[in-house]
Chain A
Amino acid sequence: MLEVLKFTAEDRARIVEAFIGEYASGKSEIAINRAVEIKRKGRTVTIVDLDTVEPFYTLRPLKNRLQELGLNVISYSKSDTFGLGETGAMLNPQAKWALMNEGDIILDVGYGVYGAQTLNLVEGAYESPYLRIIAVVNYTRPMTNSLSRIKEYIKELGRVDAIVANTHLGDDTTPDLIRKGNKVIIKAAIELGLPVDYMAVDKKFFEIEDFSDLGVKVKFIERYMPAAMW
């Protein structure tokens, strides 16, 4: 499924991508899949949990598994959380200096009213010429379930460079739903003048369903997050 892709000249540039968006929009899932994808091209990849609202929920339960996939993971691990049960030190110092790591950086930015402003917490992020801020949108999320709401929401986020359409309903996802939701997201992107990098679709639909009629690139993704319980 996620075959090793060809190594092109443009892939040589550093990749710094920050995935932002609505709570439970699929940011972590998309970020993990993106990190794994570029890792399989033989690159060095660091994935950073930048969730300051729920610092111990998102990537923590998956840390070992992601490390086994060869990723450098910056997130709290179980042993770090002792005594920090509430929200003690929310910003991991390693996350603040994440861009000092060699290779590509994938930032999984948590939700919150600050949107892309959270990237101020990462030293040098806004100064990096490579930074791309990508908003993940799931049409089944109530705050982004119509054309006007998606546009309103993306505008609230601050700087956004691209969109990933990620319409799904967990186990209840159907191809019709994906098609319906992503069409609205693509329309919103066009009206906002933003590119849709791709649409993300559960790999269980691979070879079953063709979404090329929507006119955007399709990436079939693995679902890692259900193993995280949240």
Chain B
Amino acid sequence: MALPATPKSWYLPTKPHKFCPGCGHGIVLKALGEAIDELEIQDKIVFGCDIGCSLLSWNFFACDSTQTHHGRTTPVMVGIKRARPELIAVGYMGDGGGYSIGSQHLLNAAVRNEKITVILVNNTNYGMTGGQMAPTTLPGQKTETTPYGRDPEITGYPTKGPEFVAALTSDTAYVARGTVSKYKQLKRYIKNALRNQMEGNGFSFVEVLSTCPTNWRTNAQQTWSFLEDEMEKYFPVGEFKNPFGKGEK
């Protein structure tokens, strides 16, 4: 049987990767890997990962990589980019890291239009710590810290990241929300986000709707259904800001 092609920018000694079966991270990282290959930027990338499940990507790529603290990948990437503008800085984080503990960094990097790329994986929960409520947990969704379902009266409504980033950042920024259920579109968004940095335009942000069957306790069909029927309904997929042309919604 022929093995599926792996991106050249993947680091093979660390494969197979350590994400759970059915996890969306592998799909996001494949899209990122293929985008890096197609843009021929493997030697220019500095990939930074957060704490949480995104941490498992710390040695995923055959690219220079650095692992930071929970929520602090954005400022580390800002520091690298400000010091060496010729490098392509990619921060990779989850919804907890980006929207909760590191939200001030994401917000201000967007406001300053930092010329970095942030890829944020939204799986509606804190995966690595055992499935607690995340800023993106849907109303009514059960997690270990919302055992009776998330009540917006108590904990508010889910954070809509690309919407707030788009509202804050400049028109030369690139902002999109993709999903692991639409791979080609996702790869296009990630590629746009990298190109936007390469061209020196500004902040580039892609949120990716992703799956977490382990913590959702869902089988394959339920997993896909939650992603496509619940999440994509609440979090609209599309481009919110696109300096390359009209954004698609």
Whether chain A touches chain B in the assembled complex (some CB pair under 8 Å) = no
